[in-house]
Structure 1
Amino acid sequence: MGHVRDSRYAARSQHDVLRLLATQPFAWLVSAGGEDAAFTPLPLRAECDAQGRLVALRGHLARRNPHVARLRRDGRAQALVMGPHAYVSPSWLDDRTQAPSWNYAGAMFDLDMVVSEEEDDIRAELDALVTQMEGGRPRAWALAEMGERYARLAAGVSSLRGVVREVRATFKLGQDEAPHDLAQLLAGLQAGGEQALVEWMRDFAGDAGDRP
């Protein structure tokens, strides 16, 4: 990623990456190269070990999706996650000589994917995704409510588990801005309805004193 080697924009800890996955689970799964290159948008969940370390990403695809065959042939893939982002306008600043920019959070996960069509794997994945996405909703829905329809759905699904080989994350959230300028940028973004990005920027600004 463009700023991934700039320590100013690095994740402060794995928590930032896990938060990004939890709040922005819809990703691109990419298998590049060859005649059967495949690119599929899908939700992905984090799997952590007993120590809380990210070890894998989990998801599912329709069996009829050609990407499934590609992953069976070659399990190496990348997942691309884009979090909150927005144009940053100099019009919000007293100093109008500054250039426009774009603030964002994003991550690339290098994965070794395994495809499964075992009934237990599919059920566990679908149930876990529904539980994550329905959490906190009034009258939250549960997979069991599908009744007999579930079997027809599951018959057309493959579950995925991608062991994480590498993570490259960028959190370009105004860490290089002077406090006065940052306050004006936050006000401009807030007025434009970019609340999710504002929350991330405020979080990183609050931690600025601990960063290198």
Structure 2
Amino acid sequence: MNRFAPRYPGDVARMIREEVLGLVTTHDAQGFITTPLPLLAELDDVGEVRALIGHFALANPHFARARATPQAQISFFGPHGYIGPGMVSKPGWAPTWHYRLAQFEVEIDLRPEASDAAIRALVEAMEGAGEGAGEGAWTIEQMGERYARLVAHVVAFRARVIRASTRFKLGQDEDEKSYGEILAALGDSALARTMR
């Protein structure tokens, strides 16, 4: 097994929940185009990501290009950071970069009939709304009539995963002492929490 592979089932899905914003990249005769979009993972029975759910604004030129050429790559990245020699007491130690990356080769299926459901699912995921929501969670209903106008200007999509690749380079190649020193130097940062 690759030492930089995620260690536990559900690590990639957890990363997507934490990062949310993915980079959707397509390529056609006009070249590459990338749009950052908030995305939710659809999981299979064992917790692997089988699709990503999101939406394009109709005004985004990427929408028409994805409709014509639906093959895409979606990437999630972070947290990441420079790990300098000053963090480690080991003589001759060289700097490195720690990061977490998940990439998916996908086929985008535009689903205009699912736009309302996709937006509601995203809002509920971000706000903690829905069944058993805490007091003060924002809901779409608070937009009133404006919501119908907004949802008319987006198109949901389901990006079916064809192939996935991940690399969680988070200090697995360090000895125990150096690893502990790096964690201590990073403090309570997002990168340190991810390494733990």
Say yes or no: does 1:122 pair with 2:115.
yes
Q: What is the Cα deviation at residue 81 of structure 1?
A: 0.6
Match of 1:209?
A: none
The DSSP-based 3-state class of the residue aligned with 2:78 is strand
Match of 1:164?
A: 161
Structure 1: which 5+ runs fail to align?
1-5, 203-212
TM-score, length-normalised on structure 1?
0.85
Q: Counterpart of 2:116 in structure 1: which amino acid? A: R
Name the CA distance, whole Å, in 2 between partners of 1:99 and 1:92: 11
Say yes or no: does 1:198 pair with 2:184.
no
Q: What is the Cα deviation at residue 49 of structure 1?
A: 3.4
Give the count of matched residue pairs: 192
Q: What is the Cα deviation at residue 137 of structure 1?
A: 7.0
Name the CA distance, whole Å, in 2 between partners of 1:110 and 1:148: 37
Residue 105 of structure 1 contacts residue 173 of structure 1 at CA under 8 Å; is this kept in 2? yes
- Comparing 127-136 with 101-110, greater Cα deviation is found at 127-136
Alignment identity in percent? Answer: 39
Name the CA distance, whole Å, in 2 between partners of 1:137 and 1:75: 38
Q: How does 1:1-212 map to 2 (within 5 A)?
A: 7-35=2-30, 37-118=32-113, 121-135=114-128, 139-190=136-187, 195-202=189-196
TM-score, length-normalised on structure 2?
0.92
- RMSD of Structure 2 on Structure 1 (CA): 1.7
Name the CA distance, whole Å, in 1 between partners of 2:9 and 2:72: 21
Q: Deviations over 1:127-167 (max 9, x none)?
A: 00000011287611011211101011011101011000111
Q: Deviations over 1:173-210 (max 9, x none)?
A: 111111111111111111xx5x22112212xxxxxxxx
Write 1 or 2 for the structure with the bigger share of helix: 1
